[in-house]
Structure 1
Amino acid sequence: MKLLSLSSLGIAAVSVYAASTNTTVSTAGLQSTACVSSSDNSNLYTTVSEVKHAQLFSIDYHNTYKIVNNLSTNSTYVLYQCGSTKPSINNASAFIEIPVKDSAAWSTSAAVFIETLGVQNTLRNLGTAPSMVSACLQALLQNIIDPFNESNSTATDEQEDANDVVFNMPGGEDTNTTNTVYSVEYLESSALGRAEWVKFFAAFFNAEERANKLFGAIESNYNCYAAKADQEYNDIRPVIAWTSYAAPTEYNNNTAYWQISYADYKYVIVRDAGARMLNTTGPQATIFNTAQSFLDALEDVDILIDESFVSYDYNTLLKNYGITDPSKLDYSWLTTSRVFRPDRIQSTSGGLGWFEEPIIFADALLEDLIGVAHPKFVQDGYTPIWFRNLAKNETVVVLTASNCTDIYAQLPDSAQQCSSLDFQSANPSDADYSGVEVNQTQDLIYDLSDSEVINGSDNEGGSHTDSSTHSSSSDAPASLFAQSKASAVAMVAALAALLFMAN
């Protein structure tokens, strides 16, 4: 697999990492940046964030403090203005003075939320630094931010204690939880719900104005894409399956397995992209113990998105899927070479950009998926940012610190403005739609009752609320767990339990 630099690939959408040569820190869009006196009880937070799509956090505003609730972990974080009297709140998980001056993040997604808000000047420590794909966070890691010393627990504890807040994921091994804040954006049931966690992080930096503006633009652009896709592709909706393979290891009893992911946010975004999701009638029946039963379920799939927790070429995928002669299988995803992986954007160490920007920029993610499902959806064609066609041996883009020219700029949205695009209607005679059933709008139902299914453990998240039958799933990203303060054994155990399916 050939690796290319960002500039040599020529994908304009990804060049958003380059902003300007300015490295000053802007305070525009931040409120109450100064400390107050202990007697001050005036309303400091005139700009507030309302939660519309996210279901797993809430924010309550008071004159000099905020109460942020993680509804998934039942954690309550009391954020009070520096200098003000510390509120008396029972059963609070942590009390954090705001605006936060020194912060740390164990997961790459948390770090990129912070960068998107333009408050990365507060970052002091990051976990699993080599996995970071963001060019400007890589640049900060070279000169300003220190990686967590993961080989020395005492040193790590000291680093954590030196920060006002440490953003982590549930399951991390923090010994000091007085300043630990858990985020679970990956558990949300919609792409917009995941993106709205920018408001959660903004509360710690008094950056509500920035978060509201940012999310408002994402939401508007997302809705435009969804509306246009529904109009142009309502009659031709290819079936998409999100799949993965796990090789035999000591952590899965040396037994290989195959999986089809049914994460709720994928259901929503696949439909919003003008496509259909492969569905099953079995309760949480997603994991197969033979390649043949797995392939049987994929017979009528048009597009395959492989999320195996390995990096490999197309021939290796075929081998792992038990396919010795593709010409003998009349599967649409094989005959039309529509096999993708969300690994186009990487760091030099193989960290995936898939776990960073797509979580925040739901509109860019939707645009990318439309480009996968309907490759001629704009007049000039579209090259997906994160999805790489493995069957066509498309190249990987490697981001480095050299791709950043403004380390303190807000990370911009890589999505195009939907309102300025002319979508091309789906044409049944187009080779890209070979085998796609027309006038089909519902999910493809596949009965797994007779298949060799192990279990349905892909069910960490909230339930899907429409009429379709499928197992609910969070699709908690294993790479994010790898980017938390967990031992190698615990990390792999988490991977085996969650059956890595991206985020």
Structure 2
Amino acid sequence: MKLWHSTSLAGLLALLNAGAMAATNATVSTAGLQSTQCVSSTENATTDLYPTKSKVKYATGFSIIYHNTYKVLENRSTNNTYVLYQCGSTKPTVKNVSAFIPVPVKSSAAWATTAAIFLEALGVQNTVKNLGTAPSLVSACLQELLKDVIEPFNDSNSTDTDHQEQKNDVVFNMPGGQDANITNTVYSTEYLESSALGRSEWIKFFGAFFNAEERANKLFDSIDSNYQCFAAKAEKEYDDIRPVIAWTSYAGPTQFNNNTAYWQVSFASYKYDIVRDAGARMLNTTGKQSTMFSTSQSFLRALRDVDIVIDESFVSYNYSTLLKNYGIADPKQANYSWLATGRVFRPDRVQSTSGGLGWFEAPVAFADALLQDLIGVAHPKFVKDGYKHIWFRNLAKSDPVTVVTASDCTDMYAPRKNPAGSCQLIDFQSANPSDSDYLDVEQSRTHDLIYDVAKSEVVNDGSSSHSKDSAAVRLAASLVAGAIVVLGTLAVL
């Protein structure tokens, strides 16, 4: 059995939550569920067993079509079709189907952390019998369930793994993890969505297997509404002052990259949307998914007009190690806004004892919480008393890591709560252009207007030498930009 860990896919994966619904003990609450009982095969097939339906609004990777006694789910990214038919009813005749699954499912398994969190958000974790990537899970209550209720997949023995999978009604996995003899595997690819809300909307995909459309719809609608509120307030307050954010990573020399280090800037589609909605800007590029650099010099040239760096390297390290990996000998001498202001972040604030990151769980499921946290990165004073991050931590300021353990779980069968605050209750603080957080932003913007070469240098590796004339123009641009900022500051004062 080939195991695909969600933590092995760069920039993937996630966690979810369901607000006020509480399922106690070891039984699934019937609130928000439809057609929980099996039907007789002789019952009238013209009766609509699914009066509450899910409609896809943002996600492009899946679709749901309802019939009276069954529903058809399609994963458009993998071209897999799944027919979910009411237990007890006659299996429908549908061609080119990857799996027929009787619903609501009574037992489930999940290899990826994202799938596990979506199930927890729905409050159906009591159906989960097996989990993969168990040591990496950050969810406190899933950790508690893994003690003696949920059995981890034995990925070291394919025979045992197959047996574990086959005893479940459905096994949620990622493409590439299915054996030919496993017929109940369902692929989820929420991490391929081009928007944060599209990723979170996969709660509807998972909800369909439990006839939990009402729960899934209400949960997503609350996420969507809260997200739109955050985006609207950020646009109103910060449209004129948008810091430039770069999502970066470093990979040291290993056998997997021919012992050659490289540096990378990520331009994943969902990051464009959520950075914009947070009142910030992505680094100016041609729109590629990522840009790799073979030298730290070319990498740093690409970051020269960046105000905030979010490092996603797959290693745990401190600020000193980051500076070393980026080839920065003395940050005080380096002419970079993100260094001067100490705005260097990593999405590793929440971890498990084994180093698993909460970043690969909840942010995928809760787009509103992710947006809220990113607004706090872009505009740290948007909350009057200062914002406390959920997943991001300031590496330059040595923000501490929060380690989550099973002891943090208060009710292992309750739906996971959305970590986002209510946008309606947050009084956004207006931006002050004279604030030190924004001075370098204005200089960066003026620099772009005077000399726009960022795009070409980001796309190119930067290995070609730059002429003395180009260097002179850049120096002049920086001096003029600095003068404009000084004049602007004096005008405010």
Q: Is 1:36 matched with 2:45? A: no
Report how far residue 439 of structure 1 moved: 11
SS of the equivalent of 1:83 reads coil
Deviations 1:257-294 (A, max 9, x none): 00000000000000000000002248666000001000
Report how far residue 437 of structure 1 moved: 1.6
In 1, the alpha carbon distance for the partners of 2:144 and 2:170 equals: 22
In 2, the alpha carbon distance for the partners of 1:324 and 1:398 equals: 31
Contact 1:218–1:361 at 8 Å: present in 2 too? yes
Counterpart residue type for residue 295 of structure 1? L
In 2, the alpha carbon distance for the partners of 1:125 and 1:299 equals: 47
Contact 1:246–1:308 at 8 Å: present in 2 too? yes
Report how far residue 430 of structure 1 moved: 1.2
Q: 1:153 aligns with which of 148, 152, 158?
A: 158
Counterpart residue type for residue 227 of structure 1? A
Q: What's the counterpart of residue 309 of structure 2?
A: 304
Q: What's the counterpart of residue 498 of structure 1?
A: none
Counterpart residue type for residue 385 of structure 1? I
SS of the equivalent of 1:448 reads helix
Report how far residue 432 of structure 1 moved: 1.8
Tell which deviates more after alignment, 373-382 or 217-226: 373-382
Report how far residue 17 of structure 1 moved: 11
Q: What's the counterpart of residue 27 of structure 1?
A: 30
Report how far residue 428 of structure 1 moved: 1.5
In 2, the alpha carbon distance for the partners of 1:388 and 1:54 equals: 29
Contact 2:351–2:403 at 8 Å: present in 1 too? yes
CA 1:23 to 1:362, structure 2 compared with 1: closer, same or farther past 3 Å? same
Tell which deviates more after alignment, 418-427 or 190-199: 418-427
In 2, the alpha carbon distance for the partners of 1:129 and 1:17 equals: 24
Counterpart residue type for residue 161 of structure 2? T
Contact 2:309–2:338 at 8 Å: present in 1 too? yes
Instruction: Summarize the alignment of residues 75-474 of structure 1 with structure 2, pairs less than 5 Å apart.
Output: 75-281=80-286, 286-437=291-442, 445-448=454-457, 451-452=460-461
SS of the equivalent of 1:328 reads coil
Report how far residue 433 of structure 1 moved: 1.9
In 2, the alpha carbon distance for the partners of 1:61 and 1:238 equals: 45
- Which structure has the greater CA radius of gyration? 2
Query: Could you list the runs of 5+ residues in structure 2 that have no partner in the other structure?
Result: 1-15, 464-493
Alignment RMSD, CA only?
Answer: 2.4
SS of the equivalent of 1:324 reads coil
Contact 1:108–1:132 at 8 Å: present in 2 too? yes
SS of the equivalent of 1:166 reads strand
Counterpart residue type for residue 429 of structure 2? Q
Structure 1 vs Structure 2: percent identity of aligned residues?
69
Looking at secondary structure, tell me which structure has more helix per residue.
2
In 2, the alpha carbon distance for the partners of 1:157 and 1:285 equals: 36
Q: Is 1:56 matched with 2:56? A: no
Counterpart residue type for residue 202 of structure 2? W
Counterpart residue type for residue 205 of structure 1? F
Contact 2:264–2:293 at 8 Å: present in 1 too? yes
In 1, the alpha carbon distance for the partners of 2:52 and 2:383 equals: 38
Taking structure 1 as the reference length, the TM-score comes to 0.84
Deviations 1:224-281 (A, max 9, x none): 0000000000111000000000111111111000000000000000000000000224
Counterpart residue type for residue 456 of structure 2? D
Report how far residue 16 of structure 1 moved: 11
CA 1:15 to 1:124, structure 2 compared with 1: closer, same or farther past 3 Å? closer
Contact 1:428–1:438 at 8 Å: present in 2 too? no
Q: Which has the higher contact order (CA 8 A, sep 6+)?
A: 1
CA 1:299 to 1:153, structure 2 compared with 1: closer, same or farther past 3 Å? same
Deviations 1:68-119 (A, max 9, x none): 0000000000000100000111110000010011100000000000000000
Contact 1:234–1:439 at 8 Å: present in 2 too? no
Deviations 1:326-385 (A, max 9, x none): 111110100000000000000000000011111011000000000000001011211110
Report how far residue 453 of structure 1 moved: 6.8
Counterpart residue type for residue 452 of structure 1? D
Query: Could you list the runs of 5+ residues in structure 1 that have no partner in the other structure?
Result: 1-13, 455-503
Contact 2:109–2:128 at 8 Å: present in 1 too? yes
Q: How many residues align?
A: 441
Tell which deviates more after alignment, 42-51 or 427-436: 427-436
Counterpart residue type for residue 199 of structure 1? K
Taking structure 2 as the reference length, the TM-score comes to 0.86
In 1, the alpha carbon distance for the partners of 2:203 and 2:18 equals: 19
